[in-house]
């Protein structure tokens, strides 16, 4: 009887370079959840396990579709190796009656694990074509080292510089995944054994996060690397200024403000309401313009909210809607708490960089110019999309 193909994602709570790294969000999704999603999308993995010592990581992993192996403190320190975590996870699964045949070791610090290539690696090992595989990018770089303060060519002749097309490529590990025979791994005690194969992955996916600068780079890359996803949610919450408006205001001679709104946004809200999707406007200030617009749209409104996250969490709890099934649309720093609370944090173009860094997606239409309508259409499109592969 064949065993299972199991992905193990070690994700401890401690991290020196980037505090709470494994739950840091890239593209609005915690890193550990991104790894789980890649395993799910590979189509070749039967079971996904996150090995952790941290409740917050466990919660994010569970919501993404993984099961948890709790790692003891002695295997969770700075000096604990990945191999020890893998062996512990295999032992824990054996105690649960799970026979692991193919072991896929995924690293959450690689935010763009390519699912198709991961599936290919699993197939190579499961079919017996390889004992061990790893993700790598193609490289034609010239490497140098220093000896006694002087540069020295490494692996090439500095006096001869052949053209790229005249050289054979080298391969650089990306760290995203390692796939291997579980029995072979136990015997060897490390991840490279037997017939080792390279699985080439796109260079754009090869970033690893170990520093704050690398986290910032990954967040900037996310909209370019990750394809658009269906926005499959149960409720929509929006800021007002900068989302329903262009963030500008006119003031008349009586000191009263006037803002510009989009009629198409009104139709978008109507479409959501007709589909039974609750809509809430959540505003920091108290403004009669916001009240009037909410009445016109027929939606709930919370104003004068100095803590948008707390207000959003209270509203979601009273409505019985899980936060991970809510889309929140904002544009500025006072939206960051709410953006970080929900499963679908969204911003409009031109948003503050810190708000944009927390977002899972950036809409194409600006605030006051159809942003809410665009969101409504994407939410409704998700409801008619095929169920296979959909998650929120």
What is the model's pLDDT at position 390?
A: 45
Tens digit of pLDDT for each residue in 24-59? Answer: 999 889 999 999 999 999 999 999 999 999 999 999
User: Is residue 388's pLDDT more than 50?
Assistant: no
Residue 254 lies in a domain: yes
Q: What is the pLDDT of residues 246-275, one digit of tens each?
A: 877 666 665 666 677 888 999 999 999 999
User: Do residue 212 and residue 280 come from a single domain?
Assistant: no
Task: Report pTM.
Answer: 0.78
Q: What's the pLDDT score for residue 357?
A: 87
Percent of the chain with pLDDT over 70: 95
Residue 46 and residue 193 in one domain: yes
Q: What is the CATH number of the domain that holds 56?
A: 3.90.550.10
Candidates 79, 23, 18, 27; CA nearest to 50 is 23
Domain-embedded: residue 80:
yes
Q: Around Cβ 11, how many Cβ atoms within 10 Å? A: 31
The helix or strand, by DSSP H or E, that contains position 344, with its residue range, turns out to be strand 344-347
Residue 392 lies in a domain: no
Which of left, alpha, beta for 153 (phi over 0: left; psi -120 to 50: alpha)?
Answer: beta
148 and 268 belong to one structural domain: no
Predicted confidence band at 385 (pLDDT cuts at 50, 70, 90)?
Answer: low
User: Are both 256 and 331 inside the same structural domain?
Assistant: yes
**pLDDT tens digit string along 181-226?**
999 999 999 999 999 999 999 998 999 999 999 999 998 888 888 7
The parent domain of residue 106 ranges over 4-221
pLDDT in tens, 136-166: 999 998 889 999 999 999 988 888 888 888 8
pLDDT > 90: what percent of the chain? 70
pLDDT digits (tens, 9 = 90+) for 95-147: 999 999 999 999 999 999 999 999 999 999 999 999 999 999 999 988 899 99
> Which of 373, 356, 216 lies closest to 279, judged by CA?
373
Six-digit token pair at 277?
């999707």
Q: Do 179 and 253 belong together in one domain?
A: no
What's the structural domain count of the chain?
Answer: 2
Residue 389 has pLDDT above 70, yes or no: no
Q: In degrees rounded to 5, what are phi and psi of residue 322?
A: -60, 140
Q: How high does pLDDT run on average in the chain?
A: 91
Could you tell me if 268 and 190 lie in one domain? no
Q: What is the pLDDT of residue 255?
A: 61
Question: Apex CA 228: angle with CA 313 and CA 42, to 5°?
Answer: 95
Closest among 165, 166, 140 to 155, alpha carbons compared: 140
Residues 107 and 256 in one domain: no
Residue count (the chain): 392
| Cα angle 93, 98, 102; round to 5 | 90
Q: Is residue 226 part of a domain?
A: no
Q: Does 15 share its domain with 117?
A: yes
Verify that 83 and 200 share a domain, yes or no: yes
* Residue 79 predicted with pLDDT over 80: no
At 340, which CATH number? 3.40.50.1000
Alpha-carbon distance of 49 to 159, in angstroms, equals 50
Residue position matching structure tokens 């920091």: 284
Residues 54 and 128 reside in one and the same domain: yes
Domain boundary among 199, 221, 243: 221
Domain-ending residue, one of 151, 186, 221: 221
Predicted local distance difference test score (pLDDT) of residue 67: 96
- In a shared domain, residues 106 and 133: yes
Show the tokens assigned to 94.
């054996």
b/e string for 94-131 if b means 16 or more Cβ within 10 A?
eeeebebbbbbbbbbbbbbbbbebbbbbbbbbbeeebb
At residue 391, the pLDDT reads 47
Asked whether residue 350 is assigned to any structural domain, the reply reads: yes
Beta bridge pairs of residue 151 = 146
pLDDT for the residue numbered 332: 95
Quick one: residue 167, left, alpha or beta (phi over 0 = left, psi -120 to 50 = alpha)? beta
- Answer yes or no: is 389 within a domain: no
pLDDT of residue 392: 43
**pLDDT tens digits, 263-314:** 899 999 999 999 999 999 999 888 888 898 999 999 999 998 889 999 999 9
Rounded-to-integer distance, Cα 325 and Cα 314, Å: 15
Contacts of 61 by beta carbon, 8 Å cutoff, 6+ apart: 9, 11, 32, 33, 36, 50, 52, 68
| Same-domain status, 212 and 240 | no
pLDDT tens digits, 228-242: 778 999 999 999 999
Task: Tell me the three-class secondary structure of 115-174, residue by residue.
Answer: HHHHHHHHHHHHCCCCCEEEEEEEECCCEEEEECCEEEEECCCCCCCCCHHHCCCEEEEE
């Amino acid at each position: 009887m064949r065993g299972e193909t199991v992905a193990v994602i070690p994700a401890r709570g401690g991290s020196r370079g980037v505090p709470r790294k494994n739950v840091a969000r890239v593209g609005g999704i915690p890193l550990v959840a991104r790894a789980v999603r890649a395993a799910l999308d590979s189509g070749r993995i039967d079971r996904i396990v996150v090995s952790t010592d941290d409740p917050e990581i466990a919660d994010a992993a569970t919501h993404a579709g993984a099961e948890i192996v709790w790692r003891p403190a002695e295997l969770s320190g700075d000096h604990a190796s990945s191999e020890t975590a893998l062996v512990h996870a295999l032992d824990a699964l054996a105690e649960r009656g799970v026979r692991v045949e193919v072991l896929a070791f995924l690293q959450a610090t690689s935010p763009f694990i390519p699912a198709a290539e991961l599936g290919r690696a699993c197939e190579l090992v499961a079919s017996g074509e390889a004992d061990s595989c790893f993700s790598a990018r193609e490289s034609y770089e010239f490497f140098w080292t220093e000896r006694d303060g002087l540069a020295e060519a490494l692996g090439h002749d500095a006096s001869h510089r052949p053209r790229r097309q005249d050289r054979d490529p080298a391969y650089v590990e990306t760290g995203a995944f390692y796939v291997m025979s579980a029995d072979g791994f136990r015997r060897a005690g490390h991840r490279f054994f037997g017939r080792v194969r390279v699985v080439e992955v796109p260079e754009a996916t090869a970033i690893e996060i170990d520093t704050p600068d690398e986290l910032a780079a990954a967040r900037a890359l996310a909209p370019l690397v990750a394809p658009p996803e269906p926005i499959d949610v149960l409720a929509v919450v929006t800021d007002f200024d900068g989302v329903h408006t262009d963030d500008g205001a006119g003031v008349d001679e009586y000191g009263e403000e006037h803002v510009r709104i989009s009629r198409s946004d009104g139709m978008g809200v109507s479409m959501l309401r007709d589909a039974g999707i609750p809509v809430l406007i959540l505003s920091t200030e108290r403004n009669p313009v916001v009240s009037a617009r909410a009445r016109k749209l027929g939606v709930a409104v919370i104003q004068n909210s100095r803590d948008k996250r707390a207000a959003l969490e209270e509203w979601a709890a009273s409505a019985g809607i899980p936060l991970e099934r809510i889309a929140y649309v904002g544009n500025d720093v006072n939206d960051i708490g709410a953006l970080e609370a929900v499963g679908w944090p969204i911003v409009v173009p031109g948003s503050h960089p810190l708000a944009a860094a927390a977002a899972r997606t950036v809409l194409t239409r600006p605030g006051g110019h159809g942003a809410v309508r665009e969101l409504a259409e994407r939410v409704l499109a998700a409801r008619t999309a095929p169920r296979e592969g959909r998650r929120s």
